[in-house]
Chains A and B, each alone.
Chain A
Amino acid sequence: MSGTPLQRLGRNASEWIEALGQVMAFAGAIASAIVRPPLRGRRLLREIYDAGVLSIALICGAGFAVGMVLGLQGYTTLVRFGAQESLGAVVGLVLIRELGPVVTGLLVIGRAGSATTAEIGAMVSTQQLDGLRMMSIDPLHFVVMPKALALLFVMPLLSSLFTVFGVFGGYVIGVQLVGLDGGSYMASLENAVDFRDDVLQSLVKATVFGALLGVISTYRGYRSPPHAAGVSRSTTSAVVTASVWLLLTDYLITAFWGV
């Protein structure tokens, strides 16, 4: 590192922008690979199985637990204002608008995103991608695209499952444990939730997060240095970068949706 602090700042900034541009170009390449003819249906199904089906137990369990916590915390806070009848609205809105997509995204990053980076990274370091290229199979089309598309596809589904189980968890706490009326829990929930404002926002968020973490985790694997330490560093960096970008994007979508 040489030069004045200002020069170093400038260099860091341009490196950062260059890296961002490379990710964008990579995302563009994936997008064009999706529309290019061979659909890779079998590979896609396999990736959906790995990223989606194998995450179901985790997502449903986590959703249920988060819903129960929200139910209990929401109740103890609301009861101070005598507004415990609004528990359903609190649990439902928090889950649908924020926690559903965000926590699902973070869990999928940890479970499927890291596996994606590690798998592609290992393929890079054992030169399997070069082997594919030698058989004139584009590894971007054969390996990367199905993985990224599968993550994009499973995110809204997993996020909705998380939300439904969370609502159910809140119901169990609110109605069975604390003793609110089940009808008023569901009524306050149904009154408060709107399709366009809340449910659509939730689905858009989950889909955008899916695209984001699909691109980041495959990119980190694809660009991983070809040795064990490199793969492990890439995996860490994929999890960190994807999590941070997910939270930033979440704020942006929330702000632009107009609350």
Chain B
Amino acid sequence: MQSSATRDFIVGLFVLAGLLAVAYLSTVLGGLSYRGDGSFRLVAIFDDIGGLSQRSPVKIAGVKVGQVAEIALDEDLRARVALDLDARLELPVDSSAAIRTAGLLGDQFVSLEPGAEDELLAPGEFFTYTESALSLDKLVGRLVHGDAFGDE
């Protein structure tokens, strides 16, 4: 048995290590900070969001820049998706948002395509151009029922 002071020190070390593990899990992995001050919100309206869900990533050119904060139905029955984005991001007003799938069957995410205008999107504004989710079963359905080009 060590002396009591040594033991106290080791217990302190243990508690510190445990708390560090808790902190690592909550902040780095749990993403506690992402919804903090370093983000701003933009809104995109989609006809069909497919399997998109809260916390789905938002990417530009494949790099994660934010996440889906909220999904709701707006008045004309379309999907209203709020995106929390990195505050350092500067997006032109004619940027577009599209729902894409990682791989053939992977998770869905929002992909942003920056536009060319000089004017920038301000927090809370809407994306003008959006592209809905491409659903594999719909495509297969069209193929099977003959109208492969989607003209109804």
B-binding residues in A (CB < 8 A): 42, 45-46, 48-49, 52-53, 56, 81-83, 85-86, 92, 96, 154, 156-158, 160-161, 163-164, 167, 187, 189-191, 193-195, 198-199, 202-203
Q: List 27 interface pairs A-B (beta carbons < 8 Å), by A numbering.
A: A42-B4, A48-B15, A81-B105, A82-B104, A82-B105, A83-B105, A83-B106, A96-B25, A96-B29, A154-B14, A157-B17, A157-B19, A157-B22, A161-B17, A161-B18, A163-B21, A163-B25, A164-B21, A189-B29, A191-B67, A193-B29, A193-B30, A194-B31, A195-B26, A195-B32, A199-B25, A202-B25
Give the chain B neighbours of A96 by CB distance below 8 A: 25, 29
- The 8 Å CB contact of B11, one of A53, A81, A82, A167, is A53
Interchain nearest-CB distance for B15 vs A (Å)? 7
Q: Is B7 part of the contact surface with A, judged by Cβ < 8 Å?
A: yes
B8 at the A interface (CB under 8 A): yes
A45 & B21 in contact (Cβ 8 Å cutoff): no
| CB-based contact A53/B14 at 8 Å | yes
Closest B residue to A53 using CB positions: B14
Identity of the chain A residue whose Cβ is nearest the Cβ of B4 in the assembled complex: A42
Interface centre among B11, B21, B55, B105 (most CB of A within 10 A): B21
Within the assembled complex, what's the spacing in Å between the Cα atoms of A49 and B64? 43
Evaluate contact between B14 and A45: CB separation under 8 angstroms: no
Interfacial chain B residues near A203, Cβ < 8 Å: 22
Q: How far is the CB of B28 from chain A (nearest CB, A)?
A: 7
Whether the Cβ atoms of B7 and A46 lie closer than 8 Å is yes
> Closest approach, in angstroms, between the C-beta of A104 and any C-beta of chain B?
11
Q: What residue in chain B is nearest A158 (Cβ atoms)?
A: B18
Alpha-carbon separation in the docked complex, A96 to B55 (Å): 18
Whether the pair A49, B7 counts as a contact (CB closer than 8 A) is yes
Q: Is B73 part of the binding interface, using a Cβ–Cβ cutoff of 8 Å?
A: no
Give the residues in chain A near B26, CB-CB below 8 Å: 195, 199
Cα distance, A85 to B103, chains bound together (Å): 10
Known contacts A48-B14, A85-B103, A86-B107, then 13 further A-B pairs from the complex at CB < 8 Å, ordered by chain A residue: A48-B15, A49-B14, A52-B14, A82-B103, A154-B14, A156-B22, A157-B22, A163-B21, A191-B57, A191-B64, A193-B25, A195-B31, A198-B30
Least CB separation from A188: chain B residue: B107
Cα A203 to Cα B22 with chains together (Å): 8
> In this complex, which of B10, B11, B31, B67 has the most chain A Cβ atoms within 10 angstroms of its Cβ?
B11
| Structural contact, B28 and A190, CB atoms closer than 8 A | yes
Q: Which residues of A contact B102 (CB under 8 A)?
A: 85
Task: Determine the chain B residues whose CB is within 8 A of the CB of A53 once the complex forms.
Answer: 10-11, 14
Assembly CA distance A199 to B8 (angstroms):
29
| Chain B hits for A167, CB < 8 A | 29
A92 touches B29 (CB 8 A): yes
* B24 interfacial contact with A, CB 8 Å: yes
